Chains A and B, each alone.
Chain A
């Protein structure tokens, strides 16, 4: 059984994000990390491999050359190989273009399960898992708290308002998982060293049989505004703890945040 985990390189969550004049994230200007939500997908895949349910875990990323670092960091946690799809024509790709390109790469990799994080930290469109499943014509199991694999089928446990639903679909599937999977592991030193030595596969759009002219994005970013400044915090000082607590309670009650 083979899992391909899609990983995206994103600016570090705490980094100040800058945009280019074309309203694209200036990826060179900020520290890059593996999309933190993808780390749960990596963790899930590696646990299945440790449980001998899965034989092979391969990482797939689309991005600039530097995204190979995200593949290496993923491999340092564990796994068997990495594929980077990179092409200058992919700059500014929206979710639709991304999904089409990933789907084409997955056609070649032929995984039993394509596993993704539930969203990316930088765009949060959450569309790519569904779009990839639709393009490839395979079932989607989204927002799993856990992925289980049996002979010929995949199941996810999904949180609902009263507990968990179990959803099942025949393989191959696309699945996405949430942080309910459990804490992603740290890399080990031997993992880092092994990842350094591993050969990554790189594909261009031409390798995947695309003509860049056919890959026009459907959506376009027309503005990127920072969030409005927050009003200054109200500080309660110079009163005893009981009085302070009662003022906080009044403040919350006024806003109907507590009854």
Chain B
């Protein structure tokens, strides 16, 4: 086999530009974030309470309906617009940024595979923020290995009965609507026997078993959900029996871009906080921002954050264009942005010194929040797998890894 001539494959003309509309959107979200969200961030983290007031604030300003069509009451922003919302909210508070992010995550299976009736029934309530959604895929032993899930959906007349347990479901306890993945054909296994359903959480048999105690994003409830013969009408099945795995993967291929945006926002928030602090803090009779050691750290933080942001925007444009390679782009963006958030927040704590390690300043929270961006919606290792598979496939090299 001939060796690949080049690994670069994404130099095509798909480009992106920020518009005046993007600027206005950023100005709006930044103002809300600085004036209303940032002052709540420490309290949300300390009390580990879902910020219902900020959910309302975002809903009132139409920021929970950015992925829905105007027909459904949404604002139909492009990918970069949606990224800007997540980024600017996350710059102030990562927990609160999950409200718009998960609203889309839970709705993505319906956006990708839902029929008109399903979309008309549920999207108006999600676009207005009256209802919250969540994405229920992960189970105890089915994390990165999605196909090993065990939850069952057995046919019962015109309905399905869902039985099993979901774990680590972001917003699972506050959502009104879930996209749930379950086996309709256990013999066929996860890849072929999985189906996707829309489940309303007031259906009998559904319950929240418990909430996790977490290191970061503490105001965003992560729930264990129990389904005990939850009756779901067949009209709430997304696509056909057996489409579940494909729907889940298509969702994650796109949704991880929101995590990249969240990570960019966290990194930017940490960089801004570190710069402001360094300009105030004096040691040895000088502002520490005048020390090159500090300047170099700030320069790295700023440029790496900018690189992550631009890669994220480039990936947004690929998703908008339904680029066949979009998974490569979204994985690359999430990988780079997540690692950037972790590094920038760690460096921010370093610049703050001892003050960075205490809760009086926001950077220790940002560092705890940043860690999750390397874990959820596919760990960084899973992102590398996705990227490498595409890389090998393009070069015509057969992958022998699992």
Which residues of A approach B to under 8 Å, CB–CB? 73, 76, 186-190, 192-193, 196
Contact = CB atoms under 8 A, between A and B. Distances in A.
The secondary-structure label for the interface of chain A is helix
Contact of A186 (B28, B75, B77): B28
A188 B32 CA distance: 10
Contacts of A193: 21, 75
Interface of B: 21, 24-25, 28, 31-32, 60-63, 66, 75, 77
A187 B66 CA distance: 15
A189 B21 contact: no
A189 B62 contact: yes
A22 B24 CA distance: 32
A190 B28 contact: no
Contacts of B77: 189
Nearest to B20: A196
A192 B32 contact: no
Contact of B66 (A73, A186, A189, A196): A189
A63 B328 CA distance: 49
Contacts of A189: 25, 28, 61-63, 66, 75, 77
A188 B61 CA distance: 4
Contacts of A187: 28, 61
A183 to B, nearest CB: 10
Nearest to B85: A189
Contacts of A73: 24
Nearest to A187: B28
A76 B23 CA distance: 14
Nearest to B62: A189
Most chain B CB within 10 A, of A189, A190, A192, A196, is at: A189
A17 B162 CA distance: 65
Contacts of A196: 21, 24
Contacts of B24: 73, 76, 192, 196
Contacts of B66: 189
Nearest to A189: B62
Nearest to B21: A196
A209 B240 CA distance: 69
B21 A190 contact: no
A194 B32 CA distance: 19
Most chain B CB within 10 A, of A73, A186, A196, is at: A186
Contacts of B60: 188
Nearest to B64: A189
B402 to A, nearest CB: 44
A186 B31 contact: yes
A190 B31 contact: no
B395 to A, nearest CB: 43
A188 B28 CA distance: 8
Contacts of A186: 28, 31-32, 61
27 contacts: A73-B24, A76-B24, A76-B28, A186-B28, A186-B31, A186-B32, A186-B61, A187-B28, A187-B61, A188-B28, A188-B60, A188-B61, A188-B62, A189-B25, A189-B28, A189-B61, A189-B62, A189-B63, A189-B66, A190-B62, A192-B21, A192-B24, A192-B25, A192-B28, A193-B21, A196-B21, A196-B24
A39 to B, nearest CB: 12
B130 to A, nearest CB: 15
> Which 10 residue pairs are nearest across A and B when measured between Cβ atoms?
A189-B62, A188-B61, A190-B62, A188-B62, A192-B24, A189-B75, A187-B28, A189-B61, A186-B32, A189-B63
Most chain A CB within 10 A, of B24, B25, B66, is at: B24
A189 B63 CA distance: 7
A196 B21 CA distance: 8
Most chain B CB within 10 A, of A73, A76, A192, is at: A192
Contacts of A192: 21, 24-25, 28
A72 to B, nearest CB: 8
Given A188-B60, A189-B25, A196-B24, 8 more contacts: A76-B24, A186-B28, A188-B62, A189-B61, A189-B66, A189-B77, A192-B21, A192-B24
Nearest to B61: A188
Contacts of B75: 189-190, 193
Nearest to B35: A186
A190 B77 CA distance: 11
A71 B28 CA distance: 16
A190 B25 CA distance: 10
A137 B76 CA distance: 48
Nearest to A73: B24
A75 to B, nearest CB: 11
Contacts of A76: 24, 28
Nearest to B24: A192
A118 B77 CA distance: 37
A17 to B, nearest CB: 21
Contacts of B31: 186
Nearest to A195: B24
B288 to A, nearest CB: 19
A120 B61 CA distance: 28
A73 B24 CA distance: 9
A10 B32 CA distance: 21
A189 B70 CA distance: 12
Nearest to A191: B62
Contacts of B28: 76, 186-189, 192
A196 to B, nearest CB: 6
A242 to B, nearest CB: 24
Most chain A CB within 10 A, of B28, B60, B77, is at: B28
A8 B32 CA distance: 23
Nearest to A193: B75
B228 to A, nearest CB: 40
Nearest to B58: A189
A188 B63 CA distance: 8
B127 to A, nearest CB: 11
A131 B24 CA distance: 34
